[in-house]
Amino acid sequence: MQSTTRALNAAAATPEITPQRTTPAAESPPSQQRKSPVSAAAAAAAVATAAGRKRVVADFEFGRTLGEGSYSTVVEAREKATGKVFAAKILDKRHIIKEKKIKYVNIERDVLHNLHHPFIVRLHYAFQDAHSLYFIIDIASNGELLSWIRRLGALSDECVRFYLAELVVAVEYMHMEHTLPPRHKAENILLGNDMHILVTGLLARPRCLARTRPTCARTRSSALQSTCRRKLLTDKAADRNSDLWAIGCIAFQLLTGRP
């Protein structure tokens, strides 16, 4: 039991990561420019103090549910000190231990911590309480790409080129980092505030693990299955070539509007 506790502690003990995306500060109106230097300095000091310490559950206000998995729930989370909005992936410790998922939780945490790319969901903080692990990650306010396909049908050629280019760039980056991408499906491609993609679903797919077949082998659409080579439907291994082929399956979805 002690080794299990140590493993769960390791999953939550990620270093602090400062947000990668920055935006130029807008010019303050004259009424704000006349603020007291003392109050401005105090506010800056408070932000610096918040940035330099570890986060705990009390630092966040948790809101609506964004999604649910087999042993986790994703909710909206607002950081009280800064007002920034994230997504919080909350993992049930008891279920993780019962289902022997500690190894995979650690892999997910390591992958999220080590990958730094504007098109990949990023881990900002990780912490825990008595019952749960908390992964504070980027929020995708515009939802899944799949929902847009269902809503709009086939996308324009220009739009398809745009999203496929971003997906290829993200996949190539993960290959360079010796990490195989997640199962390729539109549900794992999210859209951020700026409508650029955020790839998620990075659980347990480092190069040394190759049990997962491409998504097109699992889809309910017989038409989409027919676009996949027989080798991809039968082999257990997934590699660079199969990932690029799976991107072709997603291109089919985008061009035809068939989710």
What are the binding residues? 89
Question: Which amino acids are annotated as binding site for ATP, given as ranges?
Answer: 89
CA gap 193, 92 in Å, rounded: 28
CA gap 107, 101 in Å, rounded: 10
- Backbone phi, psi, residue 214, to 5°: -60, 155
CB atoms within 10 A of CB 63: 12
CA gap 160, 145 in Å, rounded: 11
Alpha helices in the chain (DSSP H): 2-12, 30-33, 37-51, 93-98, 102-114, 145-152, 157-176, 222-226, 230-234, 240-256
